[in-house]
Structure 1
Amino acid sequence: MSDEAAAAISSGRVWSTPAEVNLGPIDLIADGAARNYVLQIGGARFHGFVVRRGEAVFGYVDRCPHQGLPLAQQLDQYLTPDGGMIACSWHGAVFTVEEGACVGGPCAGARLTPWPVEMREGRIFTA
């Protein structure tokens, strides 16, 4: 186990989830919006978020690559005001929704950690 993985587990955080976890109906996320998810995985918690674009969903671990902080300071507020990009509310980094690539701010060139999710029959599942 890596030092980072051991530190995460000891702090009660994990960075991935098992496949086939039912996160609920897609209608819980308005089109063009995002939603936070916290899942209990054994004795630890996973923090992630999902962005909806029509029938497409994009999931990411809720951790900015700049300093490891959660991206949103307010629940579900992951997007820029126009809804076009993901934004870190702490230091202003902005990321593409589709790839999680940082295109501006202190971590330009870095990426968000993907959280594999998919939409099936009107529901969102981990992949």
Structure 2
Amino acid sequence: MLGRFPQGDPALTERLTATPPGIALGPLEQIADGAARGFVIEMRAGRFHGFVVRRGAGAFGYVDRCPHMGLPLAQKLDDYVAGGIIACGWHGAVFDIASGKCRGGPCPGTSLTPWPVTVLDGTIHTA
């Protein structure tokens, strides 16, 4: 049994692709400029896995799922960005930070799924 859900409950395995607005994720300064941090948010309907990339005073959020194989992008904790681009650690796909568009690798013509986030008074929030 995990948490309050009995084993086998769909809520344990359901991976969500969106979150409600207004969830405070933490201070922007917790992410180094040009780096990223993963977030897992447990909700009644299941778990959401996403990551936020910091660029200066801005933040870009994406669902943690590569459009190529559906796997999370990082093989190591928070290892989403390499050389100024988002990189899938499994099959080498690379994505633009600002748009999420595939820039190379096995997923041409696809994009990461955006996760709307905003920075308010130095704190990252879901939007």
Structure 2 residue aligned with 1:58, among 60, 69, 77? 60
SS at match of 2:69: coil
How much does 1:43 deviate?
4.5
Identical residues among aligned pairs (%): 58
Question: Which residue in 2 is equivalent to 1:24?
Answer: 26
Q: In structure 2, how many angstroms separate the alpha carbons of the residues matched to 1:89 and 1:69? A: 10
Q: Distance in 2 between matches of 1:91 and 1:9?
A: 29
* CA distance in 1 between partners of 2:45 and 2:111 (Å): 28
Q: Which amino acid aligns with 1:112?
A: L
Deviations 1:21-63 (A, max 9, x none): 0001111101111000000111511000000000010000000
Q: Is the 8 A contact 2:73 2:89 kept in 1?
A: yes
Structure 1 segments unaligned to the other structure (5+ residues): 1-7
- The equivalent of 2:117 in structure 1 is 117
Q: Runs in 1 of length 4+ with deviation above 3 angstroms?
A: none
Aligned residue runs from structure 1 range 55-94, under 5 A: 55-80=57-82, 82=83, 84-94=84-94
CA RMSD in angstroms, aligned pairs only: 1.3
Indicate the residue corresponding to 1:3 in structure 2. none
1:10 shift after superposition: 7.3
Could you state the TM-score of these two structures normalised by the residue count of structure 2?
A: 0.89
* Structure 2 unmatched runs, 5+: 1-9
Q: Distance in 2 between matches of 1:11 and 1:95?
A: 27
Q: How many Å separate the matches in 2 of 1:87 and 1:99?
A: 13
What is the match of residue 95 of structure 1? 95
Q: Is the 8 A contact 2:12 2:47 kept in 1?
A: no
Query: What is the CA–CA distance in structure 1 between the aligned matches of 2:99 and 2:111, rounded to whole Å?
Result: 8
Amino acid at match of 1:21: I
Secondary structure at the counterpart of residue 27 of structure 1: helix
Equivalent pairs counted in the alignment come to: 118
